[in-house]
């Protein structure tokens, strides 16, 4: 049960499906990403960015494609470029923080997420990443506060429940883990099945 599980689910929801006859290349690329044709999406976006080097939407789409290919450094570079071009792009802060966290740069990730929260303090997904950072730094109380805030902001979103479940597991709190397991049966059945098969079967 990796930290990436829930983030990947949210990543696939981060951009709307475009129609088949899209005029904008980044929208066509998002369709390719939705079809898991990540390499083709990157190639298309490479060409698009070469001709339009200030198009934040194309950088964002390429970052998502590279993230799907586990090309974290390339994705991080593009998310950073999105922030330079569009400083209010909250999802770019979220994913840049996720990438930095994944690469072990937790202090950088913390700063990135805090900047995102300054723009949108009601974004539950930012608190999920912040909680992961605190958890990796063994700052357990701060991690729980971040996950609790995410749950308060978006109680019907599976991701905060996934995160708090991992927190309870790290603390050996099986009673609370069981409670989240029951909730996740409705919100994220595959994750609930993994937790159940490991701990409650």
pLDDT digits (tens, 9 = 90+) for 20-50: 443 488 789 889 999 999 999 999 999 999 9
At residue 16, the pLDDT reads 38
Domain boundaries, the chain: 4-200
DSSP per residue, the chain: --THHHHHHHHHTSSPPPPTT-SSHHHHHHHHHHTT-HHHHHHHHHHHHHH-TT-HHHHHHHHHHHHHTT-HHHHHHHHHHHHHH-TT-HHHHHHHHHHHHHTT-HHHHHHHHHHHHHH-TT-HHHHHHHHHHHHHTT-HHHHHHHHHHHHHH-TT-HHHHHHHHHHHHHHT-HHHHHHHHHHHHHH-HHHHHHHIIIII-
Higher pLDDT residue, 114 or 12?
114
Q: How many CB atoms lie within 10 A of CB 172?
A: 8
Yes or no: say if 156 and 186 are a contact pair by the CB < 8 Å rule: no
Yes or no: say if 31 and 15 are a contact pair by the CB < 8 Å rule: no
Whole-model pTM over 0.75: yes
167 pLDDT above the threshold of 90 = yes
Question: Which of the four CATH numbers 3.20.20.70, 1.10.760.10, 1.25.40.10, 3.40.50.2020 does domain 4-200 have?
Answer: 1.25.40.10
**What's the mean per-residue pLDDT of the chain?**
89
């Amino acid at each position: 049960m990796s930290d990436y599980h829930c983030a990947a689910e949210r990543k696939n929801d981060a951009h709307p499906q475009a129609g088949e006859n899209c005029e904008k290349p980044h929208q066509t690329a998002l369709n390719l990403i939705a079809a898991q044709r990540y390499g083709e999406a990157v190639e298309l976006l490479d060409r698009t960015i070469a001709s339009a080097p200030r198009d934040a939407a194309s950088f964002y789409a390429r970052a998502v494609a590279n993230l799907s290919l586990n090309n974290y450094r390339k994705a991080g570079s593009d998310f950073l470029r999105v922030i330079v071009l569009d400083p209010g792009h909250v999802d770019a802060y979220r994913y840049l923080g996720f990438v930095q966290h994944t690469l072990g740069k937790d202090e950088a990730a913390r700063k990135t997420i805090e900047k995102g929260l300054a723009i949108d303090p009601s974004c539950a997904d930012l608190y999920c990443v912040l909680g992961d950072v605190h958890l990796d730094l063994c700052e357990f109380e701060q991690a729980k506060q971040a996950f609790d805030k995410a749950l308060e902001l978006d109680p019907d979103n599976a991701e905060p429940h996934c995160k708090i479940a991992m927190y309870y597991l790290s603390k050996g709190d099986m009673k609370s883990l069981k409670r989240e397991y029951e909730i996740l049966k409705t919100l994220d059945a595959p994750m609930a099945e993994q937790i159940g098969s490991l701990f409650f079967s």
